[in-house]
Structure 1
Amino acid sequence: MKSFCKFLWVALCCCPFLLSAQGNFNALAWKQSLAYNSYLMRDVHQQYADRRNELAKAVQSKKAMPQYQDELRKNYKAILGDFPDKTPLNAKVLKVSQENGFKVEKIIFESLPKRYVTANLYLPDGKGPFPASLELCGHGLSGKLYSEEATLMALNGIAVLVVDPIGQGERVQLLDENGKAATRGVTTEHTLLNAGCELVGSSLAAYEWWDNHRALDYLETRSDIDKTRLAVYGSSGGGTQTAYLIGLEDRLKVACICSYFSQRERVLELNGPSDGCQHIPGEGEAHIEIADWGIMFAPKPLLIMSGLYDFVDY
């Protein structure tokens, strides 16, 4: 035992010398290694400077702003890409749980053939038809918090459809040989899935937009839902989905974006592009800032909520 301890002590003493003897394999100094990123950010700053000039002109008159909104929507459609023809939702209610003052229906539907979307519908007690909202989930691992929000809405007479985003809830896509999630956290899965999307000219955000668009289609099939009073809200990654959805979804009457609203230019400079569902390729070239999704939604009511100590700079 004494011999082993002596050997261990000698080995530990030698470690610093061994480490210092290893060469530095960085080909560039730290500032030089950032040169390409700085070059790209120069283009980003120019793109958003042009966008600010366009917006400054648009706010000069009531006639110019609607034209600016139309141009935004056209550019947004272009970067989202084409969507397929709608197919039957084939929706099924798999289980119903009666709670105190409301019930929860566990639902599955197909946004595309064999592309299954899972969701929970929180439905107030009573006859209806009820106003309804989509609740779009963020990347947090505390999924039960979403049910608390939906419960409060249902107890106040508002139906809520909580939609599982791709890669989350019951929709994990990347599995190991045991059927378990193969990635650590949902942001990693989103980034990996988005890489494949971009190779074929699409984006994960476009797929999320389509799933949420079809979720509204599902709400419209129900006689207990008031189709004239539809809304959407979401926090963090759910706020991202909400922003993307309201830009082109005319059926929504009111929306709330929580813990997402910021400046794309600023976020790219400080944090980079985030995970795969947090950006759409071509936003800068199309002169679309995060605020522009709110502008596309105007003049309908939009509540924006931000946390004082959120890691996203606003």
Structure 2
Amino acid sequence: MKLYLYDWDGTIYDGDSSLDFILYCIKKNKKLIWFFTKKITYFFKYLFKFIDITKFKEEIFSFLKTIDDVDKFVEEFWEQNKHKIKKFYLDKKHDKDIIISASPEFLLKPICTELGVKELIASDVNKKTGKFGRPNCRGEEKVKIFKKKYPKTVIMEMYSDSLHDKPLLELAQKSYFVKKNKIIDYKSYKPNIIKRFWDWGWSIYHKNEELWNYLIVGGLTTLISVISYKLFLAVTHYVIANILSWIIAVIFAYITNRLFVFKSKNQNKFNEFIKFTGSRVTTLLVEIAFLYLLIDLINFDEFWSKVIGQIVVLILNYVLSKLLVFKTKK
């Protein structure tokens, strides 16, 4: 059997149909704004890999519990949004097309039926609860599902707008990237410089996520410390200002390092916090000595002495946190 595969969002549909559907539902029910505001924490959990994409999307699609008639919402949504289906597909479509998408099946099925699509392969999302029946249909998962359904099928052509579909694009005899209504041969496709820089940045980040997360959190901690120090410096001596800024920064640092950097599973949080505080007291003493050296002995600028001192402390804090406070038991 010979088939033609298409991604949906960004490929056939001009945009992200899941996001557009959520926005449509918010317009119908303004109370959902508060619902999604409360889900922001799950975005950060997903960003820092505490949960996977399936769990994250389950939390988002749990809003479906608030809708009495999902099918009616979907029908009305497509009445307003079917114009976003790209002309190139309407001109090209035939009876051997398969749509394979990460968007929910309940959302895409009505429009795919209307288009005469041979089969839809999409994320299995319960329209009453938002729960997923299997992992999110994306990347390698698309290949697994497709091969299970069509083990001996030849993919004649594959169309997508995303490199997440690289596993499928490389299986097809001919593969194409779709940018708006422009179709580009996959083998000759080169992302623009912004996309290439973005991918380069993420590739570096993923090589050592812990270190980069620490630098991000450390940078925020440093910012909080420096700003608070600057404020306290206006009303008190630099030593007192430094201690007060340290107290504020260390509370922020413990929470963020535990959750986002070292992802500690230690149940004895009190003992862990004592060790963390002890390590920070050590680096505080180092910083005080450093400030005394620069400010009192060398007569260097007070503010810039603090900035330089924070860089030194940033390095020392990572070493102590990694080796002593959040040390993983083997």
> Which TM class, normalised by the smaller chain length?
under 0.3
Could you say which structure has the greater relative contact order, defined with CA pairs below 8 angstroms and 6 or more residues apart? 1
TM norm structure 2: 0.23
Asked which structure has the greater CA Rg, the reply is 2
Structure with greater helix percent = 2
Structure with greater strand percent = 1
TM norm structure 1: 0.24
